[in-house]
């Protein structure tokens, strides 16, 4: 079985005071992190995590302390918290319907001193599969999230060179295997 990996690097580093307690709680569980001069450097060695294990008391405290800034993740979190029994101490939070890009955009929306955040992701696979390699770059601003994959760049280059449409190798390999 092949494992698909998405190592990701977030730039620039983010000062702790620029994140609400809820944003910091989520981002420090979605990504690995280190501090660089007191600022958070977020990265994922394998892939960003969207299934989090969080103490319910920590999550409730972070929500309460973050009320003055809207959160893209809040409605999903509140819905999942409402399904918890009062004595449950741990919540297995599924954020697959919320993108980490949206949470980083929330940070920018209440911090005009940070003009943008970038994410660079590598697509890798533990087997040499043609659909398992490439990458993408994402630019996040308070107004928009835009990105391009290596396939997008190749399509543009082929169009500029008037060579024709880009066909990933996996498509042509499937056609050959079906003969």
In whole angstroms, how far apart are CA 94 and each of 76, 83, 88, 143, 166? 8, 13, 16, 26, 35
Q: What is the pLDDT of residue 129?
A: 81
Q: What is the DSSP-derived secondary structure letter of residue 38?
A: T
| CB of 70 closer than 8 Å to CB of 50 | no
Q: What is the pLDDT of residue 169?
A: 66
Q: What is the pLDDT of residue 121?
A: 97
| CB of 108 closer than 8 Å to CB of 141 | yes
Per-residue pLDDT of the chain (179 residues; tens, 9 = 90+): 888 999 999 999 999 999 999 999 999 999 999 998 999 999 999 999 999 999 999 999 999 999 999 899 999 999 999 888 888 899 999 999 999 999 999 999 999 999 999 999 999 988 888 778 899 999 999 999 999 999 999 889 888 887 767 677 655 444 444 44
Nearest one of 48, 50, 52 to 92, comparing CA atoms: 52
| CB of 62 closer than 8 Å to CB of 23 | no
Residue 54, beta-bridge partner list: 91
Q: What is the pLDDT of residue 161?
A: 82
Residue 4, beta-bridge partner list: 125
Residue 5, beta-bridge partner list: 124
| CB of 121 closer than 8 Å to CB of 6 | yes
Q: Which residues contact 21 (CB under 8 A, 6 or more apart)?
A: 61, 62, 65, 66
> How crowded is residue 14: how many other Cβ atoms within 10 Å of its Cβ?
23
Q: Report CA 173 to chain centroid distance, whole Å.
A: 30
């Amino acid at each position: 079985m092949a494992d698909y990996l998405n190592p990701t690097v977030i730039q620039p580093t983010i000062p702790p005071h620029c994140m609400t307690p809820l944003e910091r709680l989520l981002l420090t569980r979605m990504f690995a992190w280190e501090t660089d001069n007191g600022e958070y450097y977020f990265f994922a060695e394998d892939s960003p995590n969207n299934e989090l294990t969080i103490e319910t008391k920590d999550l409730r405290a972070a929500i309460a302390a973050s009320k003055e800034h809207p959160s893209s993740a809040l409605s999903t979190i509140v819905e999942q918290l409402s399904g918890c029994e009062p004595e449950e101490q741990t919540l297995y939070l599924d954020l697959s319907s919320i993108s980490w890009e949206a949470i980083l955009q929330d940070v920018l929306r209440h911090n005009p001193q940070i003009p943008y955040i970038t994410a660079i992701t590598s697509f890798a696979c533990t087997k040499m599969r043609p659909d398992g390699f490439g990458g993408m770059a994402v630019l996040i601003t308070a107004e928009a999230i835009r990105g391009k994959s290596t396939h997008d760049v190749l399509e543009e280059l082929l169009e500029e060179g008037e060579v024709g449409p880009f066909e990933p190798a996996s498509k042509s390999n499937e056609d050959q295997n079906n003969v």
